[in-house]
Amino acid sequence: ILTLSRFPLRVNPTMPHANETAFDIEGSPAFKLVKLANLVTQEFEREISARLDVSLVEWRVVAAVYRRGEVTAAEVAKVTGHNVMVVSRAVNRLVNEARLSRIRDDSDSRRLILRLTDKGRELFESILPMALRVEESLFGSAIPQEIIVINRFLERGLNALVPRSSFSRAQP
């Protein structure tokens, strides 16, 4: 095993040139994190999306608004890591489905405040038990110290990426 920084590179004898190295994607922590997120997404889509007619992005918008009470689409984008255009499309659908209301801010007429409707709160409360079951299946066997380490690791990663990211900016 060769190393580049902290990530393993392995000589692969089946490659045409035995001295070439390949990034060990399956051993990469970033790959595992993305794979885990994809599997959780698939679980959501299998269990919730079709039954309740809500996308994962819409669920994340509903959860962010539920948590904060009143929030703008830009603030939801920042909280969820989605770009503003993705959030805006989800907000439009949620407003059309009467799950979310959009109200002009009295103090700044350019600012639109998002609030959950009763239908939106019902949606949140119907999905929350499933979300908690998924979290329990992921972390239920972890001891408290492991959860602290996982949270610190994730916070460091988020802090390293968020200032440079385009998550909250619209993409062309």
Is 1's pLDDT higher than 50? no
Query: CB atoms < 10 A from the CB of 67, how many?
Result: 10
Using DSSP, state whether 112 is helix, strand or coil: strand
Cβ contact 19:11 at 8 Å: yes
Candidates 46, 65, 57, 41; CA nearest to 119 is 65
**pLDDT, mean of residues 4-14:** 55
pLDDT at 16: 55
Is 4's pLDDT higher than 70? no
Query: CB atoms < 10 A from the CB of 65, how many?
Result: 27
Cβ contact 73:86 at 8 Å: no
**pLDDT, mean of residues 73-102:** 95
pLDDT at 149: 94
Cβ contact 80:87 at 8 Å: yes
Is 11's pLDDT higher than 60? no
As a whole number of angstroms, the distance between CA 131 and CA 60 comes to 11
Q: Where are the beta strands (DSSP E) in the chain?
A: 2-4, 7-11, 21-23, 100-104, 112-116
pLDDT at 124: 96
| pTM of the entire predicted model | 0.76
pLDDT, greater one: 80 or 27: 80
pLDDT at 166: 44
Q: Using 50, 70 and 90 to split pLDDT, how confident is the model at 167?
A: very low
As a whole number of angstroms, the distance between CA 58 and CA 99 comes to 10
pLDDT at 108: 87
As a whole number of angstroms, the distance between CA 48 and CA 130 comes to 8
pLDDT at 122: 96
